Structure 1
Amino acid sequence: MSLSHSTNRNADDQAARWAAKLDGGPLSATERNELDAWLAQHPDHRILLSEYCQFSTDLEAQLPLLVASGQVAMPETVHPRRIGRRVLWFAGALTAAAAALTVVVWSGRPAVQTDAIATSFAERKTLRLADGTAVEVNARTSLLVNLDRTERRVRMADGQAFFTVAKDPSRPFIVETPAGSVRVTGTVFDVHAENEAELEVTIVEGSVQVRPSSSNARPTPAPVSLIGGQQLIAAPDSVSCRSLAASEIEDALAWRHGEIVFTGATLDRALARFSRFHGRNISAAPEIASLRVGGRFRLADLDGFLNAIEAFLPVQVSRDSSGAIAVRSRPSR
């Protein structure tokens, strides 16, 4: 199925309109439902929207330079209903002035930066890169930062980080993980990757392109475009994408405030999160590993979490002399 010429023109206008709305601030619940319905109408809609969101980001950074250099003139006031055509006009102007813009921007670029960043058990860190990008790093995360004159690349061996990327359309920002990569020029997003087969990317604002890697059970998937309020989860045998409510985004990013939220997570996965954060050996017996856990917990309060699961689940917790923690089924009385 392909879009006809008239439908394609309408899709461009709709994509430009939604890109402008997204750039203007959070959508209302009604607008989010309308956007989801439009995206579901045709697979090309999501690609178009991602392109227009990216173009809006590029335009915001480049327009002052283009005007100052005399390469383009600001258009006259345009009626809101013609916002799609206004965006297309700017696109043509940007193409015509690309060579001049390269000269204008080059002298203002930051120096090259190469840096290794790592956090230990129960440690979180906030830092700012040479380009102005802010990075919040969760516990037990390893990053290798390489900023040069053509691109900005962060290699995440494992862990979790939240990026507020400084806008620079001439230098894409790429986060590489063993489970896939994320490409942007300026946006706010979270990347969680603790092994070679699983990747979770949550977008707060802007747009990104995620390219999950292949695995033995999953062939190389096509790149996936995401916008603010969406989340991609790549598992060993599947890749899924969904829209999140504001409360769900807050839950996904609770680690930034030292918390973790479980909504029906299996007990073994919940224990694994605390095990990783604290660097402790914590295990669940096979017969209780699939029990479900829910609630909001302080990551630093391991004892509080263990007390909670003993109170609400049929389990008991034991510790040995090495500090290892075992969670087993509670004996019948």
Structure 2
Amino acid sequence: MAADTTMDAAAMWAVRLDQTPRDDATQAALDAWLAEDPRRCGALIRAQAAWAALDVVAVPAVIADDAPASPARRRWLVAAGMAAIATAGTAWWLDGDRDEAVATAHGEQRRARLADGSTMLLNTDTRSRIAYTPAHRQVMLDRGEAWFDVAHNRRRPFVVVAGAIRVEAVGTAFAVRRRAGLAEVLVTAGRVRVWSTADPARFLFVDAGRRASVPEQAGVGHAAVTDGGVADALAWRRGEIVLEGMTLGDAAAEFNRYNTRQLAVEAPLAERRIVGWFRTDDVEGFARSAATMTGARIERDGDAIRIVE
């Protein structure tokens, strides 16, 4: 099949899947079409992403099943969607057989616009891989932390993979952080479903304003779920760190995530509780405040700062 013909058919499938329920007959027809040529999977993904983008850029064109557009018109729609996303910002056009990596360095944050219209905000020292198929949207969080504002699409679940933990959402905003064998899930809007491959039959639902800490290997049966504190925990999206009763040792570790100038805390002080609001890059200000709150003093050695008794 010629490339233009493949793209035409992919465009029509993208519209059909968006505008009609995917019943058994539709799924069987789609599977048969995809099976005829391995290149069709990538073509459909690109067409679906372009079609989704048309809503974002308000392109005044709709293809109805009972009034199909000409092949030239369908190609224009797909091309327009791709161009619009490329103009708007970062976009990821993914074939079904490969992943696209999105990462940040130490102290860096990055916003990525995904091909389906979702937004991903990566925190410091984070690595993710994105893989879209016609049936699923998947982000593998290899390390670090990311917040997602997920575009609604009931027919293509959006799943974040954090080690053995899976977090699924549709039309939801939430964050996932990997740390010390745990996956921390914080929900800012809607609801997510969480499970572990170690215990796939058990699910946990986390609603907006709640957070869950899930052991990667033990699964959701050993999860700790709490109310509140979500906004403070996600203050990094504004370049801030909010400390509400955090231990001095943990607070220093948070600052070390963002800065090359590293903090160390003498052991007797590490469990002292502190409060405050700081910029993520204000290491000096935090060290001075922490020393005042705990009756400690500061020692400097090159780029290192020690808080000692």
In the TM superposition, residue 221 of structure 1 has moved relative to its aligned partner by 9.5
Instruction: Return the letter of the residue paired with 1:99.
Output: D
Question: Secondary structure of 2:237's match?
Answer: helix
**In 2 relative to 1, CA 306–176 (structure 1 residues): closer, same or farther, beyond 3 Å?**
same
Which residue is equivalent to 2:291? 310
In the TM superposition, residue 267 of structure 1 has moved relative to its aligned partner by 0.8
Which residue is equivalent to 1:119? 104
Which residue is equivalent to 1:164? 149
175, 192, 213: which is aligned to 1:208? Answer: 192
In the TM superposition, residue 132 of structure 1 has moved relative to its aligned partner by 1.1
Q: Does 1:176 align with 2:157?
A: no
Which residue is equivalent to 2:48? 109
**In 2 relative to 1, CA 121–173 (structure 1 residues): closer, same or farther, beyond 3 Å?**
same
In the TM superposition, residue 133 of structure 1 has moved relative to its aligned partner by 0.9
219, 228, 231: which is aligned to 2:208? Answer: 228
- Structure 2 unmatched runs, 5+: 1-15, 31-43, 50-92
- Structure 1 unmatched runs, 5+: 1-61, 67-93
Distance in 2 of aligned mates of 1:64 and 1:151: 14
In the TM superposition, residue 223 of structure 1 has moved relative to its aligned partner by 2.4
Question: Secondary structure of 2:202's match?
Answer: coil
Distance in 1 of aligned mates of 2:234 and 2:17: 33
Question: Secondary structure of 1:273's match?
Answer: helix
In the TM superposition, residue 212 of structure 1 has moved relative to its aligned partner by 4.7
Which residue is equivalent to 2:19? 65
Over the residues paired in the alignment, what is the CA RMSD in angstroms? 2.9
Instruction: Return the letter of the residue paired with 1:98.
Output: D
Q: Does 1:291 align with 2:272?
A: yes
Which residue is equivalent to 2:258? 277
Please say if residues 179 and 198 of structure 1, whose CA atoms lie closer than 8 Å, have aligned partners that are also in contact.
Answer: no
TM-score by length of 2: 0.66
Distance in 2 of aligned mates of 1:231 and 1:123: 24
TM-score by length of 1: 0.62
Distance in 2 of aligned mates of 1:293 and 1:213: 37
Please say if residues 169 and 192 of structure 2, whose CA atoms lie closer than 8 Å, have aligned partners that are also in contact.
Answer: yes
Please say if residues 317 and 327 of structure 1, whose CA atoms lie closer than 8 Å, have aligned partners that are also in contact.
Answer: yes
Which residue is equivalent to 1:242? 226
Q: Does 1:99 align with 2:14?
A: no
Q: Deviations over 1:199-227 (max 9, x none)?
A: 2211111221112576xxxx999321112
**In 2 relative to 1, CA 207–117 (structure 1 residues): closer, same or farther, beyond 3 Å?**
same
Distance in 1 of aligned mates of 2:240 and 2:48: 37
**In 2 relative to 1, CA 213–64 (structure 1 residues): closer, same or farther, beyond 3 Å?**
closer
Q: Deviations over 1:108-164 (max 9, x none)?
A: 523535321111122111110111110111111111111122211111122111100
Distance in 2 of aligned mates of 1:156 and 1:183: 13
**In 2 relative to 1, CA 212–283 (structure 1 residues): closer, same or farther, beyond 3 Å?**
farther
Which residue is equivalent to 1:78? none
Distance in 2 of aligned mates of 1:263 and 1:303: 19
**In 2 relative to 1, CA 295–63 (structure 1 residues): closer, same or farther, beyond 3 Å?**
farther
Distance in 2 of aligned mates of 1:168 and 1:310: 50
Distance in 2 of aligned mates of 1:295 and 1:225: 31
Q: Percent identity?
A: 29
124, 139, 142: which is aligned to 2:127? Answer: 142
Alignment coverage as a number of residue pairs: 230
**In 2 relative to 1, CA 194–64 (structure 1 residues): closer, same or farther, beyond 3 Å?**
closer
Instruction: Return the letter of the residue paired with 2:19.
Output: L
Distance in 2 of aligned mates of 1:213 and 1:263: 33
Question: Secondary structure of 1:143's match?
Answer: strand
Question: Secondary structure of 1:140's match?
Answer: coil
In the TM superposition, residue 257 of structure 1 has moved relative to its aligned partner by 0.4
Distance in 2 of aligned mates of 1:149 and 1:235: 31
Please say if residues 262 and 305 of structure 2, whose CA atoms lie closer than 8 Å, have aligned partners that are also in contact.
Answer: yes
Question: Secondary structure of 1:109's match?
Answer: helix
Distance in 2 of aligned mates of 1:158 and 1:149: 26
Instruction: Return the letter of the residue paired with 1:170.
Output: R
Which structure 1 residue ranges, 4+ long, deviate > 6 Å from structure 2? Answer: none
